[in-house]
Amino acid sequence: MPEHLYRDAGTGQIVTEEYALENPTTTVKETIELSDQDREDLAKLDDGVTAVPDPTYHPVLQVWREILKPARDELDSKITPQWASRIVQSYQDVGYNDMPAMRDRYYGKILELLDILETEIASDDECLNYSTPEEDVLENRAHYFNLLRDWQLQFLRWELSWDCTDPHAGVELAAVSEVHKAFFGQTGVTQYLENIKLELTPADQDELAAALEELRGEQ
């Protein structure tokens, strides 16, 4: 009988459903026929024993894509009481009746950022073929900088286009805030760059600041 299995997108480690609900941007849901070994792994998790992680290295670009792809299915997913309660408690201008719009805007924005990622991946046939963190940061450094820049530019576009008179202004602001946390927060997807020790130089920082300032000047 098919069942749902949840894995950490970075390590491949099996995690509990509770963990997956609390960390939707860093876990991947799979619908599979569970083997006896999978059932043993899940039982170990219930007993507080950590499952053995997958030792295969995947470039951060690939990890990001796997984390973000489920957003397509989430657009049609049922809104859970836990998620709705957390959002309502976090944003005073958002109510339970706003949840469908919140879901659509939240996952819609993630899909926009996924499109940017997939365009970057498509520009280089070799970018997903590196097997160590050292190779990943050396060969894909330009891709990571491009994505950090282009993602931040997209957040700025959303900010500049925000209209306080829009009936859904509060929902829009909440969606942008939640997506920003999912990407740039303490547990956001960009934290995976710490695994490859990516560092931006002062020149990189200047280029990023210039790109953001240029977009502001166009408005």
160-197 tens-digit pLDDT: 999 999 999 999 999 999 999 999 999 999 999 999 99
Domain assignment present for residue 53? The answer is no
The Cα 21–Cα 23 span in angstroms is 6
Task: Give the 3-state DSSP-derived string for 104-134, with helices as H, strands as E and coil as C.
Answer: HHHHHHHHHHHHHHHHHHHCCCCCCCCCCHH
| φ, ψ at 15 (rounded to 5°) | -130, 165
What is the per-residue pLDDT for 1?
A: 47
Domain assignment present for residue 197? The answer is yes
**Are residues 23 and 98 both part of a single domain?**
no
The model's pTM is: 0.76
Nearest to 178 by CA among 76, 118, 99: 99
**Are residues 36 and 140 both part of a single domain?**
no
Domain assignment present for residue 140? The answer is yes
**Are residues 23 and 118 both part of a single domain?**
no
**Are residues 31 and 130 both part of a single domain?**
no
The Cα 25–Cα 23 span in angstroms is 6
**Are residues 79 and 106 both part of a single domain?**
yes
If DSSP codes are grouped into helix, strand and coil, which group holds residue 78?
coil
**Are residues 109 and 76 both part of a single domain?**
yes
Domain assignment present for residue 117? The answer is yes
**Are residues 28 and 89 both part of a single domain?**
no
What is the per-residue pLDDT for 32?
A: 58
12-43 tens-digit pLDDT: 566 677 766 666 666 666 665 656 776 676 66
Lowest-pLDDT choice from 1-15, 60-74, 111-125, 147-161: 1-15
**Are residues 86 and 150 both part of a single domain?**
yes
Domain assignment present for residue 139? The answer is yes
Domain assignment present for residue 13? The answer is yes
**Are residues 9 and 66 both part of a single domain?**
no
Q: What tokens were used for 153?
A: 């530019």
**Are residues 154 and 102 both part of a single domain?**
yes
- H/E segment holding residue 31: strand 27-32
| φ, ψ at 5 (rounded to 5°) | -125, 140
**Are residues 72 and 38 both part of a single domain?**
no
Domain assignment present for residue 18? The answer is yes
The Cα 64–Cα 96 span in angstroms is 30
**Are residues 33 and 118 both part of a single domain?**
no
Number of folded domains that form the chain: 2
What is the per-residue pLDDT for 37?
A: 73
Identify the domain containing residue 17 by its residue range: 3-46
The Cα 202–Cα 205 span in angstroms is 5
Domain assignment present for residue 37? The answer is yes
| Side chain identity at residue 73, one-letter code | D
